[in-house]
């Protein structure tokens, strides 16, 4: 298992060892011990899965404290462009984003710390997006940022995404008061 660290503090890409053979492939999709090697700790209490066809964008979402979630995201099938935005008020990279392509060949994962808005584009049909969360779903605590806010400057890899009505009216960074 390899770890890749980025300039945005706290974010880590995890590249598991994938064992291929004539039958297919195997990899350890979750190991608390391995994550601890990368300095990642947390009480993982909920797993989520969504299925999206090519061109879907979900996000940018987060849950506010005390229901804030760190996430460990990956795809089990298909391919996704994962995007996270640093919304930690005191962070020197506040408002900056990181994009990482997740695929079901390398089975690479991204650790998203508390204090980030999260979203992704499905790059293929039937993209199965899986993620572990360190807090339960709390709809009353949900917040978000507008996916195509020019101030964020995110290239989602798609022009006219399929996106929920809810996500179309999320606030821009300018009108946003971060709870982190």
Stretch touching ligand T46 by CB under 6 A, among 16-24, 53-61, 149-157, 171-179? 53-61
d(CA 17, CA 26): 9
Question: Does residue 97 touch ligand T46 according to CB under 6 A?
Answer: no
Contact string 64-93 vs ligand T46 (x = CB under 6 A): ------------------------------
Question: Does residue 50 touch ligand T46 according to CB under 6 A?
Answer: yes
Which 122-161 residues touch ligand T46, going by CB under 6 A? 137
Per the residue annotation, which of 97, 118, 131, 137 is the catalytic one? 131
Write down the residue that tokens 């053979």 correspond to.
Answer: 21
Query: Which are the contacts of 12, defined by CB distance < 8 A and separation ≥ 6?
Result: 3, 4, 5, 6, 38, 39, 40, 110, 111
CA angle 176, 42, 38 (to 5 degrees): 100
Q: Is residue 5 annotated as a catalytic residue, yes or no?
A: no
Q: How far is the CB of 48 from ligand T46 (least distance, A)?
A: 5
Question: Does residue 59 touch ligand T46 according to CB under 6 A?
Answer: yes
Residue 128 host element (H or E): strand 127-133
Q: Is residue 118 annotated as a catalytic residue, yes or no?
A: no
157 dihedral zone (left: phi>0; alpha: psi -120 to 50; beta): left
Residues near ligand T46 (CB under 6 A): 48, 50, 58-59, 61, 118-120, 137, 164
């Amino acid at each position: 298992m390899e770890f890749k660290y980025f300039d945005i503090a706290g974010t880590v890409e995890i590249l598991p060892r994938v064992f291929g053979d004539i039958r297919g492939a195997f990899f350890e999709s979750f190991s608390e011990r391995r994550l601890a090697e990368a300095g990642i700790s947390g009480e993982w209490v909920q797993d989520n899965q969504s299925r999206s066809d090519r061109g879907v964008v979900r996000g940018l979402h987060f849950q506010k404290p005390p229901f804030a979630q760190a996430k460990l995201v990956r795809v089990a099938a298909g391919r996704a462009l994962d995007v996270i935005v640093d919304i930690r008020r005191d962070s020197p990279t506040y408002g900056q984003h990181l994009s990482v392509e997740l695929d079901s060949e390398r089975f690479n994962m991204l650790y998203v710390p508390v204090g980030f808005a999260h979203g992704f584009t499905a790059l293929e049909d039937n993209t199965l997006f899986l993620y572990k969360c360190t807090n339960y779903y709390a709809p009353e605590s949900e917040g978000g940022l507008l996916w195509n806010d020019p101030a964020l400057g995110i290239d989602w890899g798609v022009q006219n995404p399929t996106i929920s009505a809810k996500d179309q009216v999320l606030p821009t960074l300018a009108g946003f008061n971060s709870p982190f």
